[in-house]
Amino acid sequence: MNIRLVTSAPFPWLNAITGIIYGKKAAKAGAQGETPYDGKRRLRLSRSIAVTREGKWFIGVLFLVGVAAINTGNNLLYLIVAAMLSFIIISGVLSESAMNGIKVQRQLPGRIFKGRPIRIRYKIKNNKKHLPSYSFSITELPLTSPGLKADPAYVLKLKARGETVKTAQCVFERRGMFALGGVRISTRFPFGLFLKGKKGPAEAAGARPLHGVEPLQVVVYPAIKPVLSAHLKAISRNVCSSDRELMALAKGGGTQLRSMRDYVSGEDARFIYWKSAAKRQKLLVKEFEKETERKVMVLFDNYSAKDEDPAFEEIVDEAAGVINHFIERGFSVGLKTLTGEASPAPGSAQLYTLLKILALMTPVKGSQGARLQVVYL
């Protein structure tokens, strides 16, 4: 039986105080080399409790009435003190009941970009046979490193054995891999005196799913920064310095129309432009651009003097914007960084491959600074 759970329901304060005292002791013992991890883990609280503003007032008044009862010896004041204490106990039991038996299924959008708000979809089920759950919120568990800003999804009432779907807005403030541990159910129900929640970052890392939500790893792509052609010119290198010039390069078997010319006997009839034949009384054939020649390589010297460098992140976003720019225009795009390389390829699959590389890319220590270049191949 989970003793912490049992004590936390009727005596949240007792649990909180013992947790704080013994948690510190255990931490001290850990520092001295005695069971460094297990002690803390054993005494960690399964619930987090915070006193609300109303709760502080309530406790203050309870304290004053308690003092008055002791001073006067008036049993009716003792009765009021007992009723107020009973309120705290009932509050603990009811908040526990509101959170128990709640199972949550979480659904995130397939692709997540840094700084772009998304909506997380929660399918919430109350597995209790008879008791409804009132007024609780579901939030993403706080991560070990910051970068996730998630609003809570609020449920006013969920009937016994009932099910509902709620969405909550969420913003990932940095790119990279995020390990979402689970969700945290919190409630101020029933009296608004305490904000009680199931804790916390520890469970997020654990293998045991919390409230039925499995830990999830998501890749957050960098933000796609719009590309200005002037800037693109500045970072481009090779014979051509613009898209237009590049398009004048060569004809080939690509898909983009390049030009039209007179039909030469023996040529493939599939390329004849029949509409002009009727208009101009002669046959014209369509010429296409040479696909293989629409190839760029994005070179990213991912140097940075600092681990957390906003300027570096700016360039990562810029790189994502450049890659997107060329992929949208049918280019085969490759990416070369100091830590890895991806060969040029066209299409959206390539876009997300390259964005994932950028998402997971870590800076290489160096004072040169990050640099972005586009090389037309």
Q: Which is nearer to another protein, 131 or 249 (CB)?
A: 131
Binding mask 247-266 for another protein (x = CB under 8 A): --------------------
Among 73, 146, 266, 310, binds another protein (CB under 8 A): 73
Query: Does 78 sit near another protein (CB under 8 A)?
Result: yes
Among 63, 154, 271, 274, binds another protein (CB under 8 A): 154
Query: Does 190 sit near another protein (CB under 8 A)?
Result: yes
Query: Does 83 sit near another protein (CB under 8 A)?
Result: yes
Query: Does 70 sit near another protein (CB under 8 A)?
Result: yes
Query: Does 151 sit near another protein (CB under 8 A)?
Result: yes
Number of residues forming the site for another protein (CB under 8 A): 40
Q: How far is the CB of 87 from another protein (least distance, A)?
A: 7
Place of tokens 């390049």: 258
Q: How far is the CB of 93 from another protein (least distance, A)?
A: 8
Query: Does 71 sit near another protein (CB under 8 A)?
Result: yes
Length of the chain: 377
Give the number of other Cβ atoms within 10 Å of residue 273's Cβ. 16
Q: How far is the CB of 2 from another protein (least distance, A)?
A: 9
Q: Identify the helix (H) or strand (E) that includes residue 352.
A: helix 348-360
Among 41-49, 80-88, 198-206, 325-333, the segment contacting another protein (CB under 8 A): 80-88
Q: Which is nearer to another protein, 48 or 100 (CB)?
A: 100
Binders of another protein among residues 87 to 116 (CB under 8 A) are: 87, 89-90, 94
Cβ burial, residue 226 (10 Å; 0-12/13-18/19+): exposed
Cβ-proximal residues to 259 (8 Å cutoff; 6+ apart), any chain: 251, 287
Q: How far is the CB of 191 from another protein (least distance, A)?
A: 4
Cβ-proximal residues to 366 (8 Å cutoff; 6+ apart), any chain: 303, 304, 305
Cβ-proximal residues to 65 (8 Å cutoff; 6+ apart), any chain: 77, 80, 81, 84
CA 49, CA 115: separation in Å to the nearest integer? 31
Query: Does 65 sit near another protein (CB under 8 A)?
Result: yes
Query: Does 80 sit near another protein (CB under 8 A)?
Result: yes
Q: Are 198 and 156 in contact (CB under 8 A)?
A: no
Q: What's the DSSP call for residue 117?
A: -
Query: Does 13 sit near another protein (CB under 8 A)?
Result: no
Q: Are 316 and 371 in contact (CB under 8 A)?
A: no
CA 247 to mean position of chain CA atoms? 40
Among 38-46, 74-82, 109-117, 308-316, the segment contacting another protein (CB under 8 A): 74-82
Among 86-94, 109-117, 330-338, 362-370, the segment contacting another protein (CB under 8 A): 86-94
Q: Which is nearer to another protein, 61 or 165 (CB)?
A: 61
Query: Does 167 sit near another protein (CB under 8 A)?
Result: no
Cβ burial, residue 131 (10 Å; 0-12/13-18/19+): middle
Residue 69 identity (one-letter amino acid) = A
- Can you read off the two tokens belonging to residue 255? 């898909």
Task: Give strand ranges (E) for 193-283.
Answer: 194-198, 216-221, 236-237, 251-262
CA 202, CA 123: separation in Å to the nearest integer? 23
Q: What's the DSSP call for residue 272?
A: B
Binders of another protein among residues 129 to 148 (CB under 8 A) are: 131-132, 134-135, 137
Among 102-110, 182-190, 347-355, 362-370, the segment contacting another protein (CB under 8 A): 182-190
Query: Does 278 sit near another protein (CB under 8 A)?
Result: no
SS3 at position 333: strand
Residues that bind another protein (CB under 8 A): 1, 61, 65, 68, 70-83, 85-87, 89-90, 94, 131-132, 134-135, 137, 151-154, 156-157, 188-192
